[in-house]
């Protein structure tokens, strides 16, 4: 990966249309590796990643996401899952309710940026029925699906979506002048 991280962040956008072109396995593997490099509480790494190529399962996931068909139209779908009990083993309720979600969100963003750097398109899909996703993937009880990423080569080039100005979202707390 040669691209500057800031450049990749600026280039990143949600892609919901994909070319009918497979994504090489070794690139998918590198996306997962990038995800596992994320910071995480106590280095417990309370995550698991499912790479779904099977067409029927991709459609099950699209249906679980309220018929967001673009999920199934991507050649590969990656589902990021959290293991709340693993985080709770050290951090109790803060681990189960907060850290494991922060950890997996950090992993998910790494995955997204790595996909962008490889010229792939993806979209963070969070609107889904957790039970239906669990059934589609035959998830063990301990795993909670956190985000779905359809991954493929982009077949659209959307404009960057607008951001609120920094001034609107920033508060600086400085030492008062003497």
The residue within the footprint of ligand FMN, chosen from 6, 127, 162, 169 (CB under 6 A), is 127
Residues 12-31 touching ligand FMN, rule: CB under 6 A, are 13-14, 16
Strand intervals (E) in 44-169: 47-52, 76-82, 121-122, 144-152
The residue within the footprint of ligand FMN, chosen from 41, 123, 137, 151 (CB under 6 A), is 123
Kindly report the number of other CB atoms within 10 A of residue 162's CB atom: 6
Closest CA to 86 of 45, 140, 147: 45
Quote the least distance from Cβ 157 to ligand FMN, whole Å: 11
C-alpha span between 18 and 151 (Å, rounded): 8
The residue within the footprint of ligand FMN, chosen from 40, 68, 104, 116 (CB under 6 A), is 68
Q: Which residue has the tokens 């018929």?
A: 67
**Phi, psi torsion values for 119, nearest 5 degrees:** 80, 15
Binding string to ligand FMN for residues 154 to 173, with x set by CB under 6 A, is what? -------x------------
Q: Nearer to ligand FMN by C-beta: 89 or 109? A: 109
What does R_g of the chain's alpha carbons equal in angstroms?
18
Residues 86-115 touching ligand FMN, rule: CB under 6 A, are none
Q: Nearer to ligand FMN by C-beta: 42 or 66? A: 66
Q: Which residue is nearest to ligand FMN (CB)?
A: 126
Structure tokens at 89: 């083993």
């Amino acid at each position: 990966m040669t691209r500057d991280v800031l450049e990749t962040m600026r280039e990143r956008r949600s892609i919901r249309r994909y070319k009918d072109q497979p994504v090489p396995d070794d690139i998918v593997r590198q996306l997962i590796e990038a995800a596992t490099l994320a910071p995480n509480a106590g280095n417990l790494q309370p995550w698991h990643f499912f790479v779904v190529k099977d067409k029927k399962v991709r459609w099950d996931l699209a249906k679980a996401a309220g018929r967001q068909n673009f999920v199934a139209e991507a050649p590969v779908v990656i589902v990021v899952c959290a293991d709340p009990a693993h985080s709770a083993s050290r951090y109790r309720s803060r681990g189960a309710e907060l850290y494991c979600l922060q950890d997996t969100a950090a992993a998910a963003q790494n995955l997204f940026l790595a996909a962008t750097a490889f010229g792939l398109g993806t979209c963070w899909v969070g609107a889904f029925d957790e039970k239906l996703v669990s059934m589609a993937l035959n998830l063990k009880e301990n795993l909670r699906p956190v985000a779905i990423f359809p991954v493929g080569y982009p077949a659209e080039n959307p404009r960057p979506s607008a951001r609120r100005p920094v001034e609107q979202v920033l508060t600086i707390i400085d030492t008062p002048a003497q």
